[in-house]
Structure 1
Amino acid sequence: MKLNRLFIGALATLALASCNDKMEYKEYNIYDKDYITKNFGNVGGFMTDIYNTVDYDFGNYSGGAMQASATDESMYSKLGNAIDDFYNGGWSASNAKGSIWNSMYAGIKTCNHVLGEMQGLDFEELKLNADYGAQMYRYEHYQYECRFMRAYFYFALVRQYGGVPLVKQEISAEEANTITRSSADDVFKFIIDECNDIQGKITEDYSNLGQYATGTEESGRADKLAVLALKARAALYWASPLFNSNGDKERYHTAATYAKELLDAAEARGKGLTAKYADLWDAASFNTPTIMKEILFGRRYYKNSSGDNLVETNNYPAGIEGGSGGNCPTQNLVDAYDMQATGLSIHEAGSGYDANNPYAGRDPRLAATVAVNGDQWPTYSGAAKLETFQGGINGEPLTGATPTGYYLKKLCNGAISLASNSKLKESRHTWLTFRMGEAYLNYAEAVFKYLGSADATSAEFPMSAREAASKTRLRAGMPAFAEGLDATTFWTKLQNERFVELAFEGHRFWDVRRWKEADKFFKNIVEMKLTKSDDGTITYKRQTISRQWNDKMYLFPIPQTELMKNPNLTQNPGWE
């Protein structure tokens, strides 16, 4: 059983969660329960299905739009996409963007089935097999992986909807259509309690199994660090204003405690930041030790053994063969990258920023994330340099051309060519669910909010928020945050560091919501319009686009279809 292939997202054909009140075993190669439970691999098929439910965002909306394009990170270059509904008034209970509701509850149902129906097996007829002990070790730990995944699915639900129905065991369809919503507090408590209970039981490290190793790489499976990462993130969300309306400071204490627990355990295992930021999205990230040191848990996506080109197809520049524009970084994001020499924001006096040469001397993460005019992008041999100015080969008014002046590099493999005669058209991609860069920033936020100062430390938290938040900057070749920053200034800089470090990784959409600061960040999107004069000089002009925001959008509407099936569900405020 090759568990290193657990993350083959779109192609999973193994056990699917049924909508009926009992699991339909016939969906698993038309075999019944007795057959399924005779073999490690058959039972493991259910685990594969559970792992395949983990969310990712390489372009989940029609035409390849990422959720980033519903934030100030990017604008989608093709008009009429479903992503527009988030800010044009088209969002409603009947257009609820409810795929997470459906997929997460399908995953929870499969988890509950495995936990309820597939425990206590001994596979008697396989005891003479040479790998029996190793396979039984895996089987006996499925329950802890199942519980981790179920907790993760509930996290995906609670961050989106607030309180949701908590289903902890298999129930009938009739019961499912009468269950009420638990409070967000209860859901967060369930997630954290589950993580606390299983963190000492789940496998410590699948890359070091000793006598239980089978020679098959299993770095894709959830282990103790994944559990600790989920617990730390969930605790930080629970402490944030969206879910902490009373401003309970002790929640930040809890979040800081769990973030430190994760960092201590990860560093003890040799984890840390990889040397080069851009390497995290390398095609070989999943099996390169120097890159894997930062990855705590990820979902691998590829359609065949060679990989896929989903990200490139969705985001390569218009004007090249196979390119369609896609998710184009905003000027808001570009402005967030500080000056490398001074470490100051481009808006701060003495930063060294030159508006006539706007990309020079900036944080190196800008060049790793955003393709700007004049860049060699993509990087494959023969690709022309980008022309994003008006009338350029990749600029407006070309259909699908960037409206912002930029294209996306991050997540893409620039060596891929989508040309019909290309020799490299596909590669592997990994969606990073948890990584050390986020872990340091989570710690920084929780400790800052608890201790109240960027530089404050205690016996319990000997690393200050400033020190933790500086780690991702130092890795990128940026100066550390200065000592002595006042609380307001540091908070602004810490928010900005998350914006830059975690761009296009699925965090911005949720960060701004949990901070309840959408009025500040999401209402005005800035584009950069470039024009080229006859002498080759480029002129840069900012253009601001207004987007709609209503505070009801901090939480998603419960899908109308679910309300119709279950009269005991209540709608989120403002969506009635």
Structure 2
Amino acid sequence: MKRIIYLALAAITLITACKKSLDLEPLSQISPNNSFNSENELRLYVTSFYDKMLPNADNEDKAFTSLYTESSDNIVLNGLDKKITGNRVVPVAAGGWNWADLRNVNYFLQNYQRGGVSPAISVKYAAVAKFFRAYFYANMVAAYGDVPWYSKPIETTDNAALTKSRDSRTLVMDSVLNDIDFAIANLPTAQTFTEVNKWTALALKSRLCLFEGTFRKYHTEFNLPDADRFLQASADAAEQLIDKGPYSVYTSSPDKAYTDLFHALTVNPAEIILARQYSTNLQINHNVNYYTVSPSFGKPGLEKKLVNSYLMKDGSRFTDKPGYAALGFLEETKDRDPRLAQTIRTPGYKRVDGTSVLAPSYSGTVTGYQLTKFVTSAVNDANSKSPNPLPVFRYAEVLLNFAEAKAELGTLTQGDLDKSIKKLRDRVNMPGMNLALANSNPDPYLAGQYTHVNSANKGVILELRRERRIELVMEGFRWNDLMRWKEGHLLTEQFKGAYFPGAGNYDLDGDGKIDLVIYTGNQPAVPDAQFLKLDVDISLENGSSGGNIVVNPNTPKTFREERDYLFPLPSQDLLLNPNLKQNPNW
């Protein structure tokens, strides 16, 4: 019988079902003498990892991916996170330097065999635990670099372990590889989006090895070895999943397949490898509708450079068009990669289950490029009322990981692109990516952003970064992508939105009605329009002479190349453990 476990309910499930056998003690204090005596007890314990260690909808500090929110140059808000402005400070305590989840995993791995459950049964639960330990440490290394490696729970009397120094990144990541390889070898192959399986472990390996390989390649200042070894491991893991796994790119019709994947109220098991689920009936929801349509969460919108990066529908580059930089909203959104119209409001947009055509609402977006990805029916617009599942691992990411790893290795072929990127392009009826053409004519617009790409594969690497940014927008990858590519300088550039030639009346969707009035002086009388006062409600690059919207024009941004690719350790931990050393220049 198929067993469905709602990841969002994992902790509740654990507490309820474990009451008798675990006596409701904290996980770190469960006695091995009265626990782990059956497969059910093993299963219940590892179920707790899902809720505690996977990212949730509104917290991007837990893992590689936050679910729909991003602090980067993809999604712009009317207030900027400190890591975007360069104003991060050394925290006093906690932050991301928290080891409680690791202790719970290590406690299980130390004790799961003591109950006498057959090794043939218990090994798959050990594999789940090692999956999560690999997940935990990959994220810690991405944030902090060198970290102490712990393979067993630390007792309060173990002063040597409590005061150990940071282990080298190379040692930790080799240990991570051992864990994830164990998980791949011992997890079941049955397709399920509610629990990790062999395919989830392969997806994680492709992700963490791509991060590590490209970080080591581009961050030569750290003098880290084996970049190609990690890139090859990423490519191999992705290819194994592609060739042998049960997943595929979801398709329906090109004008809605991409967006349908994200606003559906049930998981699409063909493409979603692992998801966090929500339920209106159980009153466990997230907030994406409210986030995108209300003025209360910073009025998020796509940034101009990302919008410019979407290709034309015929595969040509938008930024090669004469005068592209001064096109109004109606013209710039015409005949583009269909994913643009399935990510933001463009002319003709209707809400899910709605009948009215809606222009972008400037009460809900600070850039004019109002988000629609993940946005469901208007009945879910109230605070914390969105019930749709959110992907944690998606097959599309694996395809992108495969192509990028091969490109960075210099082994990418046209056949590799056809088995990966072409599937994503086919979903929206876009031309496939041509390896020879991309490398013979690298895009100068992208080359101006990604300043460290210099190889025979420069053109295709730039195109793969374009593809990744577009396909995975709002899924929380952009910060780590910029960090591993050593392109933090992009965060310091002025964030921009749509272009307007100045004050005036604007028909944003071409229906003959005025949707937006930008004015000076007194507000004019225009029926059913939105009103923005120039230099009060909206700022344009050249003031009354027009230009792109500029967001947070008076907020300075910095990125220190010698410091900001790693996070600082908390000062309290440095005091408690004198053997810990702070990251450089913090």
TM-score between the two structures when normalised by the length of structure 1: 0.77
Larger CA deviation: 323-332 vs 406-415 = 323-332
Matching residue within 504, 511, 515 for 2:485: 515
2:47 is the alignment partner of 1:48: yes
Q: Which residue of 1 aligns with 2:465?
A: 495
Q: Which residue of 2 aligns with 1:569?
A: 580
Name the SS for the 2:97 alignment partner. Answer: helix
Distance change >3 Å, CA 252–CA 284, structure 1 → 2: farther
Larger CA deviation: 300-309 vs 353-362 = 300-309
Q: Which residue of 2 aligns with 1:411?
A: 374
What amino acid is aligned across from residue 396 of structure 2 in structure 1? G
Structure 1 Cα separation of the partners of residues 294 and 316 of structure 2: 31
**CA distances 1:402-429 after superposition (whole Å, capped 9, x unpaired):** 2211222112323543369xxx954232
Matching residue within 192, 206, 220 for 1:232: 206
Q: Which residue of 1 aligns with 2:514?
A: 536
**8 Å Cα contact 1:445/1:465 also seen in 2:** no
2:90 is the alignment partner of 1:90: no
Structure 1 Cα separation of the partners of residues 23 and 106 of structure 2: 14
Name the SS for the 2:376 alignment partner. Answer: coil
Give, in angstroms, the shift of residue 572 of structure 1: 0.9
2:432 is the alignment partner of 1:480: yes
Q: Which residue of 1 aligns with 2:443?
A: none
Structure 1 Cα separation of the partners of residues 481 and 70 of structure 2: 15
Distance change >3 Å, CA 353–CA 89, structure 1 → 2: closer
Q: Which residue of 2 aligns with 1:402?
A: 365
Larger CA deviation: 226-235 vs 478-487 = 478-487
Distance change >3 Å, CA 537–CA 117, structure 1 → 2: closer
Give, in angstroms, the shift of residue 374 of structure 1: 6.7
Give, in angstroms, the shift of residue 284 of structure 1: 4.1
Q: Which residue of 1 aligns with 2:262?
A: 281
2:310 is the alignment partner of 1:337: yes
Q: Which residue of 1 aligns with 2:389?
A: 429
Distance change >3 Å, CA 111–CA 28, structure 1 → 2: closer
Name the SS for the 1:4 alignment partner. Answer: coil
Structure 1 Cα separation of the partners of residues 335 and 25 of structure 2: 60
Give, in angstroms, the shift of residue 504 of structure 1: 1.1
Matching residue within 174, 196, 206 for 1:189: 174
Matching residue within 547, 552, 559 for 2:557: 547
Distance change >3 Å, CA 160–CA 285, structure 1 → 2: farther
Structure 2 Cα separation of the partners of residues 359 and 438 of structure 1: 25
Structure 2 Cα separation of the partners of residues 403 and 529 of structure 1: 13
Q: Which residue of 2 aligns with 1:58?
A: 57
Give, in angstroms, the shift of residue 157 of structure 1: 0.8
2:275 is the alignment partner of 1:298: yes
2:111 is the alignment partner of 1:111: no
Structure 2 Cα separation of the partners of residues 529 and 381 of structure 1: 28
**8 Å Cα contact 1:15/1:49 also seen in 2:** no
Give, in angstroms, the shift of residue 435 of structure 1: 2.0
Matching residue within 122, 127, 132 for 1:149: 132
Larger CA deviation: 251-260 vs 532-541 = 532-541
Give, in angstroms, the shift of residue 202 of structure 1: 1.8
**CA distances 1:125-158 after superposition (whole Å, capped 9, x unpaired):** xxxxxxxx9xx97644211110111111111111
**8 Å Cα contact 1:226/1:434 also seen in 2:** yes
Distance change >3 Å, CA 466–CA 36, structure 1 → 2: same
RMSD over aligned Cα atoms: 3.7
Distance change >3 Å, CA 387–CA 297, structure 1 → 2: closer
Name the SS for the 2:133 alignment partner. Answer: helix
**Taking every aligned residue pair, what percent have the same amino acid on both sides?**
23
**CA distances 1:107-131 after superposition (whole Å, capped 9, x unpaired):** 21111111112224246xxxxxxxx
Matching residue within 141, 165, 181 for 1:180: 165
What amino acid is aligned across from residue 436 of structure 1 in structure 2? Y
Matching residue within 96, 106, 128 for 1:100: 96
**CA distances 1:253-279 after superposition (whole Å, capped 9, x unpaired):** 542354234333443233221112223
Name the SS for the 2:186 alignment partner. Answer: coil
Matching residue within 322, 347, 371 for 2:319: 347
Distance change >3 Å, CA 147–CA 11, structure 1 → 2: closer
Q: Which residue of 2 aligns with 1:121?
A: 115
**8 Å Cα contact 1:252/1:447 also seen in 2:** no
Distance change >3 Å, CA 465–CA 95, structure 1 → 2: farther
- Structure 2 unaligned blocks of 5 or more: 17-21, 252-256, 440-456, 507-512, 519-545
Q: Which residue of 2 aligns with 1:129?
A: none
Larger CA deviation: 554-563 vs 254-263 = 254-263
Structure 2 Cα separation of the partners of residues 166 and 61 of structure 1: 23
TM-score between the two structures when normalised by the length of structure 2: 0.76
2:219 is the alignment partner of 1:220: no
What amino acid is aligned across from residue 259 of structure 1 in structure 2? A
**8 Å Cα contact 1:306/1:426 also seen in 2:** no
What amino acid is aligned across from residue 153 of structure 1 in structure 2? F
Give, in angstroms, the shift of residue 465 of structure 1: 4.8
**8 Å Cα contact 2:76/2:303 also seen in 1:** yes
2:292 is the alignment partner of 1:315: yes
Matching residue within 189, 194, 207 for 1:204: 189
2:401 is the alignment partner of 1:442: yes
Q: Which residue of 1 aligns with 2:453?
A: none
2:236 is the alignment partner of 1:264: no
